[in-house]
Structure 1
């Protein structure tokens, strides 16, 4: 059985789309998926990347694109009332349902649907309270929330150490695949596509850069 680690942050619309698409992409493949919440903002900051929401025209395009993708893929996607938003309360709530930094698909899906369906404020106190109640049976004993905070830091640090620069990202067989549009490539790798056993995987990032060195 193959093992896949899925790094995600609930603030990312592509995390929702990839979450919904993943079962179709993995159909017929014996595998287990671990969902590991990470803080996207910290990963972006590490690489000096403002993210799509930090560039006004790209923000406009991204929101149009993901709204259309939700329609085209049949899973739906409604932009929340405010975006981006601080995802820490949702990340910590999800990890309050974990012993080791991984959450199950029920928890991941519950939080993602909370954000990406209905067009509501993801941080509305009443809605957060309802989400907490929905996850009550999944939560571990962590009265001060320190374990969830520690798991989030550990997950984010581990993801950065593995080369994760954005979400969703998928790690399988020692390879990283990024984004919704990386899912067909992930499937091909899991199915043993010969391309992955040739020189192309290692050769591609070895191409010399034509940009001047950073100052």
Structure 2
């Protein structure tokens, strides 16, 4: 039986795009289940601000994503405005069957080709670009909306706090920069080593006032 991994993503994240473009580095026997989620709902649940809500962090995040794309040799062009409303684009990945190919096609339209998808015109253009023009109507189906809510709720229940995140046997691997750590854990019992176990169970020394 191949190892099956849930991959939680939101198309609003440039790092999720950079990670999916590196899936060719994953072991051949690995089965990835794409799980679209609403990042905003996850951040609200945990009481977190998005990077774009802190001006200095927003600038750094955009520079870092561009740097990583150039470093990795991945074609990259940001959409004309960010953050944007990703809901319909997320639903589209579900309406198209939820395959990695469908998810990758949506990501590439946004982050490789630099297209906006939040306006009615932009979303219609996305549906045409991925070869699914009926997506304009399909994303309004109750079953599609329910699936996105279900994936988001499931992510929160697992402790997911950001995207992209791999979940394997209950362990979370958050961020494009955790890809190497994830790969090592597929190949070894690194998480079971004494020092990893020690730091994973450290007590809280002090809590910020008001938290």
Same fold (TM over 0.5): yes
Tell me the distance in 2 between the aligned counterparts of 1:165 and 1:42: 10
Q: Structure 1: which 5+ residue stretches go unaligned? A: none
How many residues are paired up? 207
Map 1:27-176 onto structure 2 (within 5 A).
27=27, 29-98=28-97, 103-133=98-128, 134-136=130-132, 144-176=140-172
How large is the RMSD of aligned CA atoms in angstroms? 2.1
Q: Distance in 2 between matches of 1:175 and 1:137?
A: 38
Give the Cα–Cα distance (whole angstroms) in 1 for the partners of residues 6 and 207 of structure 2: 35
The two structures have a TM-score, normalised by structure 2, of: 0.89
| Distance in 2 of aligned mates of 1:130 and 1:142 | 15
- 3-state SS in 1 of match to 2:173: strand
| Structure 2, unaligned runs of 5 or more | none
TM-score by length of structure 1 reads 0.87
Which deviations, in whole Å up to 9, do the C-alpha atoms of 1:1-48 show, x marking residues without a partner?
A: 211110000000100001111221x14x52111101000001111111
Q: Could you tell me which residue of structure 2 aligns to residue 187 of structure 1?
A: 183
